[in-house]
């Protein structure tokens, strides 16, 4: 419940929009008098309010309100576009109360969508480079020319069987399932993501436990919440999670945050626990030890759901296989993780660790915990931090319980489209190299290094809402390979905004922002499932008024396309006569042989793949598509708890058998076509499909792991060469205190956070967001600053193994002594005064290049010519830009640090900090890409390559987005081919 204040000054209680089940029980604000929180949907076609710019006059303005979905982070909150009925101009975005996750609320980045749409410098037409790549000369071309050229090139690559030369490299997907259709239909293994510079560490830690790769905390019902991240303020599910944590706090829950930095999240917590970067695993295992020794764990849950028997059989066969013995064994093992040891590693007082452990134990099944980037993305072995964190959930039995933490798949809904191609029988070693068989996603950030080593080349490379030159570690190595036409024949950059990477493209292709495109998607935000539907608001409104459009770009600004239509058109041009077998996947399910229209794609999904939606629509006299156009979100399931306890029916069990030792229930029946996520949980024997496990004599669904239990013990890790990591372990980080010599001014740098109002690349064109946040100084503790003679605002030099940057100091008590920190979301630059990046955010820079002393690569210096300046444009605000600071681009000075197991780039750095020299200038970035190639080879040497024990490239059961055919898993010469897997229903596990 919340309080609305009315004109008469009296507070009245009204229902929150999502208390009760919305939209099956629609939001009914009190409207008999006074104010309401949201315009009611029956007035969305004709909503009148006073025009703010006319104040103090009361001038009425009438709008059509069209809902859509925010695209500015992964949370996918609901937005309502306010479209002026006279001019058809979008005037603003506010929240959509009918969205089950965001419930009418947004963070600052949601309403800032208006800036992105109205940016006077936005890309509106396709551009083709003229002259050398990166030379900065462009010409406008027609979409037809673009599609014909790219289509012909891809057709040629396919006909010549150069399938591994086609890459689609995505930064922000913002959709579920669409590209899972496109790339397999082309018969390629060409998906590449940004995940290994982002979340692969956390994903791996969770995946080894429960098969799915994300945690889904039920924050709202938690009694104790533990976060190891700057999660809330870092823009990941910011708004949906934040509002539920606040609800939990209002209900008495306590919050603890482990973070070396006093983040905004930590500052609102009950416990800020500053830890030395990378020591979090020691703290968590010490907490586990306390819970074990004090006997405050949930023995019954663990007995039923942990693979303890497998652990004893494999590692301790010389005694009875009993749960009691298992407890004795792990008590003895984890006794080494004393609070005192954890204090020595982390600098957290032992007494605090004990107190936290008891809080966690007291919360019991209502313990919510979460880690995403942060420690899991910062450290060598960071994935073990996520694993240690979930160990606390397992010990307390807070797994998929009210207030606990569930596998994300149970809180996410991915509908099945009308057709999908079989898994292609091809394996791309440029993204899944043999050295990283357990990497949780593609080794995307090593692509420049692989290309430089001559492991392959690219014939057609798409970057899509992706800016590796600026975002990735060692971005200047990206610049080198993007410029090299012998390594990349064609680079097409699909992007809503200019970026540092677009500058090095052959085609810059404008794609829509959130309110200019269709997508469906779903993310775990609470203990339920929902489906969101992004839609192009101007097209939707104009079609409502009777206009017709063949393509969304005809209603969007300029010729801004939506990608869904782009891929259909491109696929038809690759295979115009259907002879390649591609075109059929892009034909209408309603008009056989005709080209698929984007609304038909979603119409079929809503009519056939979303349980309950057709009925809910019929109740309002709408078709399913009309219903989704009206609300843009549908809640598929509520109260999704304890899915692992689901009993298997006799129909499920038909033709199955249960292993008498393990209890594993397997079948040789193929997966049902509409099973959403069947590919996860397959066994090392691909011909037997596990469907559940016997627990206390009952057939249960279990977890999507090989044992169908929570894998405290991972036979996978042991079998693939990492026996020391077979159970949750503490890995010493590459920035462990033992690696840092303070007497030489060495520090651990934490670069894994961002400012809460920024969106990777795409906040560059938001004037409001840049006005709010435009500096990223280096946080340094007061004692360290005094030692170095630095005050706030002084220039300092931060050096890594491959280069340095010059930034300003921010002296604060909000960071651990010995640690420095810098947000990674600033430092935008352009090489041309008038194009190449948004002027709201970027400084004009010059780049110099000289040969590297290493004999390979180059030494670059990026230096600002000037910062952000006012300029004339169609938006009068551009002449009133008052800020000058574009921030400092820190990521290029980071060499690649691929974790040998998860594949995650370990972002934290050992750095040297010193006052800047007289000839250093603010924003200087100096990098030696020859040195970066050397560091790459040092980390590559840490790997233990495939084949695994069964002669494959990767464990069959482990999640792999865009899973290829089973045969493609086999390393050539490592044994007989596996049975072919042609089940298309297992395509598309993109997470």
Residue 307 or 757: the one with the smaller Cβ distance to ligand SF4 is 757
Q: Residue 110 Cβ, how far from ligand SF4 at the closest point, in Å? A: 3
Residue in 278, 402, 289 with CA at minimum distance from that of residue 354: 289
Site residues for ligand SF4, 891-910, by CB under 6 A, read none
Specify the DSSP class assigned to residue 945: P
Element (DSSP H or E) covering residue 951: none
Q: Residue 562 Cβ, how far from ligand SF4 at the closest point, in Å? A: 18
Candidate segments 106-114, 523-531, 819-827, 855-863, binder of ligand SF4 by CB under 6 A: 106-114
Q: Residue 93 Cβ, how far from ligand SF4 at the closest point, in Å? A: 9
Tokens 């037997």 locate to 688
**CA separation for the pair 807, 883 (Å, rounded):** 17
Q: Residue 524 Cβ, how far from ligand SF4 at the closest point, in Å? A: 14
428 binds ligand SF4 (CB under 6 A): no
Dihedral sign of CA atoms 496, 498, 503, 506 in order: positive
**CA separation for the pair 641, 603 (Å, rounded):** 30
Q: Residue 194 Cβ, how far from ligand SF4 at the closest point, in Å? A: 17
Burial class (CB in 10 A: 0-12, 13-18, 19+), 883: middle
Dihedral sign of CA atoms 952, 954, 955, 959 in order: negative
Site residues for ligand SF4, 196-255, by CB under 6 A, read 238-239
Q: Residue 248 Cβ, how far from ligand SF4 at the closest point, in Å? A: 18
Token pair of 121 as six digits: 């410098």
Residue in 624, 631, 587, 622 with CA at minimum distance from that of residue 605: 624
CA triple 260-263-269, angle to 5 deg: 100
Residue 111 or 475: the one with the smaller Cβ distance to ligand SF4 is 111
Residue 393 or 757: the one with the smaller Cβ distance to ligand SF4 is 757
Cβ atoms within 10 Å of 214's Cβ, excluding its own:
22
Q: Residue 372 Cβ, how far from ligand SF4 at the closest point, in Å? A: 14
Cβ atoms within 10 Å of 7's Cβ, excluding its own:
8
Token pair of 819 as six digits: 């640690």
Tell me, by CB under 6 A, how many residues bind ligand SF4: 13
Token pair of 251 as six digits: 């209900």
Beta bridge partners of 587: 595
Specify the DSSP class assigned to residue 546: T
**CA separation for the pair 439, 898 (Å, rounded):** 9
Residue 405 or 763: the one with the smaller Cβ distance to ligand SF4 is 763
Q: 306 preceded by cis ω (within 30°)?
A: no
**In a 3-state reduction of DSSP, which class is residue 460?**
strand
Give the CB-nearest residue to ligand SF4: 110
Q: Residue 102 Cβ, how far from ligand SF4 at the closest point, in Å? A: 6
Q: Please state the φ and ψ torsions of residue 680, each to the nearest 5 degrees.
A: -85, 135
Candidate segments 104-112, 376-384, 799-807, 847-855, binder of ligand SF4 by CB under 6 A: 104-112
Cβ atoms within 10 Å of 758's Cβ, excluding its own:
28
Q: Are 110 and 79 in contact (CB under 8 A)?
A: yes
Q: Residue 773 Cβ, how far from ligand SF4 at the closest point, in Å? A: 14
Q: Residue 889 Cβ, how far from ligand SF4 at the closest point, in Å? A: 22
Residue 229 or 609: the one with the smaller Cβ distance to ligand SF4 is 229
Q: Residue 109 Cβ, how far from ligand SF4 at the closest point, in Å? A: 4
Residue 231 or 970: the one with the smaller Cβ distance to ligand SF4 is 231
Site residues for ligand SF4, 2-31, by CB under 6 A, read none
Site residues for ligand SF4, 274-313, by CB under 6 A, read none
How far, CA to CA in Å, does 10 sit from each of 33, 482, 844? Answer: 12, 63, 55
Residue 73 or 806: the one with the smaller Cβ distance to ligand SF4 is 73
Give one DSSP letter per residue of 788-800, joined into a string.
HT--TT-EEEEE-
Tokens 């604060």 locate to 812
Residue 242 or 291: the one with the smaller Cβ distance to ligand SF4 is 242
**CA separation for the pair 566, 551 (Å, rounded):** 9
Site string for ligand SF4, 52-81 (x = CB under 6 A): ------------------x-xx-xxx----
Q: Residue 825 Cβ, how far from ligand SF4 at the closest point, in Å? A: 13
Element (DSSP H or E) covering residue 133: none
Candidate segments 60-68, 107-115, 124-132, 385-393, binder of ligand SF4 by CB under 6 A: 107-115
Element (DSSP H or E) covering residue 149: helix 143-159
532 binds ligand SF4 (CB under 6 A): no
Tokens 């040497």 locate to 941
109 binds ligand SF4 (CB under 6 A): yes
Tell me which of 110, 692, 903, 930 binds ligand SF4, using CB under 6 A: 110
Candidate segments 103-111, 180-188, 418-426, 543-551, binder of ligand SF4 by CB under 6 A: 103-111
Residue 840 or 962: the one with the smaller Cβ distance to ligand SF4 is 840
Residue 96 or 529: the one with the smaller Cβ distance to ligand SF4 is 96
Q: Residue 215 Cβ, how far from ligand SF4 at the closest point, in Å? A: 18
Residue 241 or 804: the one with the smaller Cβ distance to ligand SF4 is 241
Q: Residue 237 Cβ, how far from ligand SF4 at the closest point, in Å? A: 7
Residue 107 or 978: the one with the smaller Cβ distance to ligand SF4 is 107
Residue 98 or 703: the one with the smaller Cβ distance to ligand SF4 is 98
**CA separation for the pair 737, 734 (Å, rounded):** 9
Q: Are 1 and 13 in contact (CB under 8 A)?
A: yes
Return residues touching ligand SF4 (CB under 6 A): 70, 72-73, 75-77, 102, 106-107, 109-110, 238-239
């Amino acid at each position: 419940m919340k309080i609305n204040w009315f004109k008469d000054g009296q507070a009245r209680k009204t229902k929150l929009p999502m208390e009760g089940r919305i939209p099956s029980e629609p939001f009914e604000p009190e409207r008999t008098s006074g104010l309401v929180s949201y315009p009611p949907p029956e007035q969305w076609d004709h909503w009148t309010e006073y025009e703010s710019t006319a104040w103090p006059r009361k001038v009425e303005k009438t709008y059509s309100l069209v809902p859509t979905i925010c695209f500015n982070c992964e949370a996918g909150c609901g937005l309502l576009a306010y479209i002026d009925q006279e001019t058809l101009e979008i005037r603003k975005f506010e929240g959509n109360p009918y969205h089950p996750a965001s419930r009418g609320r947004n963070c600052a980045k949601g309403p800032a969508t208006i800036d992105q749409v109205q940016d006077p410098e936005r890309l509106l037409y396709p551009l083709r480079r003229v002259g050398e790549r990166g030379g900065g000369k462009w010409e406008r071309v027609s979409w037809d020319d673009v599609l014909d050229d790219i289509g012909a090139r891809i057709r040629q690559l396919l006909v010549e069987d150069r399938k591994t030369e086609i890459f689609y490299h995505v930064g922000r997907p913002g959709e579920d399932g669409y590209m899972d259709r496109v790339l397999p239909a082309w018969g390629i293994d060409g998906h590449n993501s940004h995940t290994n510079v982002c979340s692969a560490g956390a994903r791996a830690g969770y995946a080894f436990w429960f098969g799915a790769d994300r945690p889904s905390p039920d924050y709202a019902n938690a009694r104790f919440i533990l976060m190891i991240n700057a999660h809330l303020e870092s823009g990941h599910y910011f708004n949906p999670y934040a509002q539920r944590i606040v609800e939990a706090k209002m209900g008495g829950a306590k919050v603890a945050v482990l973070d070396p930095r006093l983040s905004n999240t930590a500052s609102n917590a009950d416990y800020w626990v500053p830890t030395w970067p990378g020591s979090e695993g020691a703290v968590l295992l010490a907490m586990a030890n306390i819970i074990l020794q004090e006997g405050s764990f949930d023995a019954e849950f663990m007995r039923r759901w942990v693979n303890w028997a497998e652990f004893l059989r494999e590692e301790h066969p010389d005694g009875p296989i009993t749960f009691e013995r298992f407890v004795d064994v792990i008590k003895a093992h984890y006794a080494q993780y004393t609070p005192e040891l954890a204090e020595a590693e982390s600098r957290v007082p032992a007494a605090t660790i004990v107190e936290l452990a008891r809080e966690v134990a007291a919360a019991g099944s209502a313990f919510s915990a979460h880690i995403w980037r942060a420690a899991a993305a910062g450290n060598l072995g960071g994935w073990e931090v996520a694993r240690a964190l979930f160990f606390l959930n397992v010990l307390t039995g807070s797994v998929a319980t009210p207030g606990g933490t569930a596998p994300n798949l149970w809180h996410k809904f991915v509908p099945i489209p009308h057709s999908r191609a079989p898994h292609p029988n091809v394996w791309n070693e440029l993204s899944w190299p043999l050295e990283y068989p357990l990497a949780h996603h593609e080794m995307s950030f090593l692509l420049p290094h692989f290309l430089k080593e001559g492991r392959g080349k690219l014939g057609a490379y798409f970057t899509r809402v992706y800016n590796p030159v600026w975002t990735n570690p060692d971005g200047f190595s990206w610049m080198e390979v993007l410029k090299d036409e012998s390594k990349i024949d064609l680079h097409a950059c699909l992007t809503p905004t200019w970026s540092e990477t677009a500058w090095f493209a052959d085609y810059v292709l404008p794609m829509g922002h959130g309110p200019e495109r269709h997508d469906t998607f779903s993310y775990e935000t609470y203990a339920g499932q929902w489906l969101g539907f992004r839609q192009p608001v101007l097209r939707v409104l104009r079609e409502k008024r009777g206009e017709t459009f063949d393509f969304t770009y005809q209603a969007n600004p300029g010729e801004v396309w939506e990608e869904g239509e782009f891929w259909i058109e491109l696929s038809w041009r690759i295979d115009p006569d259907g002879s390649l077998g591609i075109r059929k996947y892009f034909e209408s399910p309603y008009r056989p042989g005709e080209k698929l229209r984007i609304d038909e794609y979603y119409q079929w999904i809503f009519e056939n793949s979303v349980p309950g939606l057709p009925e809910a629509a019929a109740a309002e006299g709408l078709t399913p598509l009309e219903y989704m156009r009206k609300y843009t979100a549908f809640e598929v399931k509520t109260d999704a708890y304890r899915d692992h306890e689901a009993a298997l029916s006799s129909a499920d069990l038909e033709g199955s058998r249960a292993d008498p030792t393990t209890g594993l229930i397997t079948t040789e029946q193929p997966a049902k076509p509409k099973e959403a996520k069947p590919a996860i949980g397959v066994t090392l024997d691909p011909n037997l499909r596990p469907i559940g496990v016997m627990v206390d004599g009952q057939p249960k669904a279990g977890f999507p792991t090989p044992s169908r239990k929570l894998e405290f013990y991972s036979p996978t890790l042991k079998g693939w060469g990492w026996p020391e990591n077979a159970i949750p372990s503490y890995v010493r980080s590459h920035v462990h205190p033992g690696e840092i010599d303070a007497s030489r001014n060495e520090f651990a740098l934490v670069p894994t956070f961002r400012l809460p109002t920024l969106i990777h690349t795409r906040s560059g064109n938001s004037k409001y967001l840049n006005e709010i946040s435009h500096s990223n100084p280096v946080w340094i503790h007061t004692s360290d600053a005094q030692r170095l003679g630095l005050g706030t605002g002084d220039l300092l030099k931060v050096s890594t193994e491959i280069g340095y940057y010059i930034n300003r100091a921010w002296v604060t008590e909000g960071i651990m002594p010995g640690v420095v920190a810098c947000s990674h979301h600033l430092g935008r630059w352009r090489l041309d005064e008038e194009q190449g990046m948004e002027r709201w955010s970027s400084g004009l820079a010059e780049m110099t290049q000289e040969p590297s002393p290493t004999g390979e690569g180059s030494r670059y210096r990026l230096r600002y010519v000037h910062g952000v300046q006012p300029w004339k444009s169609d938006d009068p605000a551009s002449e009133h830009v008052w800020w000058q600071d574009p921030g400092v681009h820190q990521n290029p000075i980071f060499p690649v640090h691929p974790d040998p197991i998860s594949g995650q780039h370990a972002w934290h750095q050992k750095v040297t900090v010193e006052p800047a020299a007289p000839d250093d200038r603010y924003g200087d970035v100096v990098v030696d890409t020859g040195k970066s190639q050397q560091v790459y080879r040092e980390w590559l040497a840490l790997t233990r390559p495939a084949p695994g024990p069964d002669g494959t490239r990767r464990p069959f059961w482990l999640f792999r987005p865009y899973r290829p055919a089973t045969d493609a898993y086999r390393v050539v010469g490592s044994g007989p081919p596996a049975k072919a897997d042609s089940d298309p229903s297992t395509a598309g596990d993109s997470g």
